[in-house]
Amino acid sequence: MSIQNKINVAIIGATGYTGLDLILMLSKHPKVVITNLCATKNLGKKISYFDKRIKKNLPKIDSVKKIKWNKIDVVFLSLPNGEAQKIVKKYYYKNKKLKFIDLSADFRITKAKIYEKNYKIKHKAKRLINHALYSIPELCKDKINSFRIISNPGCYPTSVQLPLIPLIKKNLINTKDITIDSKSGFSGAGKNLEKKFTHKNLYSSIYAYNPKNHRHTCEIEQQLLFFLNKKINFTFNPHLLPTFRGILTAIYVQSKKGKTGNILRNSLIKFYKNSKFIKILKLNATIGSGNVLNTNNCEISICETRVKNKFIIFSALDNLVKGASGQAIQNMNLLYKYPEHLGLR
């Protein structure tokens, strides 16, 4: 911990979409001193070259080798899958005060075999998986101070778990057949989008992709099992939209007999009564991603259908903020016992 109770922060993977949003928010955080911005390319450039929104005078982009690890309090790892685990493995035991907040999938999956099967990457830090906490703050904030490795959840899984887990825990909906339909802006696929998707008219079309084997499916399955202690049958189908940021998820469920839309809605209101970033809208409220863009908020709307006991539960969030960088900062605030909302909006 540095002067005036501020913390020294390094960001590795500074020039990606999530890295830039991290820097933008952390540069305004009253308890943070950014000491290192790291990348593998464009060394020596100012971060404002990549994002004009960042006005503060910050360190120029440099190599990870330049980090003085004994002077860092927390490092954010905004890296491709497979890279964060190497850094955590190398430095976890060297500095026992250092905390890691990983925005990749490297420590999200508790079983290495499942991670390796879904991500086609050999896990090189298996012994540290059990030292990591998968943290959606609203669901596990009481556990966070026992861990030094925080695994930041995926954007789609965050949009699914926030509305679904409280309702299933209260036994308000059937769990035999749940359909999850998610739509995301193309920033969710990262930079170099054209290399990942070769579809015609990529930036003016809607695409469904990987309905059978999307990587986030095993993450959703794992977390539902963890919280509810039983396997939940669901179908997950993600779509890519021709808009930069934002997620809108629609979850199709059947309520238990006699459980009305108002009962479902009131249950969510009660569950999230002390959660600043979760907004439960009126029953049947129109919902979209527009209200949550560039914020750490998640809006949830319970909507009735023409079929009795059939509901669509909508959630909307910014995939780069609540689905990534904002949630990472929220986790950091909890780690250091700062107000949960500090530096966020």
Position 203 pLDDT exceeds 60: yes
The pLDDT assigned to 199 comes to: 63
Q: Which of 14, 10, 18, 15 is nearest to 35 (CA)?
A: 10
The pLDDT assigned to 228 comes to: 86
CATH placement of domain 3-152+323-335:
3.40.50.720
Instruction: Tell me the pLDDT tens digit for each residue of 262-299.
Output: 999 999 999 999 999 999 999 999 999 999 999 999 99
The pLDDT assigned to 295 comes to: 97
pLDDT interval class at 208 (50, 70, 90): confident
Instruction: Tell me the pLDDT tens digit for each residue of 54-90.
Output: 989 999 999 999 999 999 999 999 999 999 999 999 9
Q: Cβ(127)–Cβ(121) under 8 Å?
A: no
The pLDDT assigned to 38 comes to: 96
Instruction: Tell me the pLDDT tens digit for each residue of 80-128.
Output: 999 999 999 999 999 999 999 999 999 999 999 999 999 999 999 999 9
Domain 156-319 = CATH 3.30.360.10: yes
Pick the catalytic residue from 38, 140, 155, 303: 155
175-185 mean pLDDT: 94
Position 202 pLDDT exceeds 80: no
Place of tokens 């959606």: 136
pLDDT interval class at 198 (50, 70, 90): low
Known catalytic residue at 298: no
Position 148 pLDDT exceeds 90: yes
Instruction: Give the Cα separation of 156 and 317 in Å (integer).
Output: 9
Instruction: Give the Cα separation of 79 and 98 in Å (integer).
Output: 18
The pLDDT assigned to 194 comes to: 55
Domain boundaries, the chain: 3-152+323-335, 156-319
35-52 mean pLDDT: 93
Pairing of strands 61-62, 32-38: parallel
**What does pLDDT average to over the chain?**
93
Burial grade of 27 (CB within 10 A; 0-12, 13-18, 19 or more) = middle
Q: Which of 164, 337, 328, 189 is nearest to 251 (CA)?
A: 164
Q: Which of 209, 183, 139, 196 is nearest to 319 (CA)?
A: 183
The pLDDT assigned to 259 comes to: 96
Position 211 pLDDT exceeds 90: no
The pLDDT assigned to 344 comes to: 96
The pLDDT assigned to 12 comes to: 98
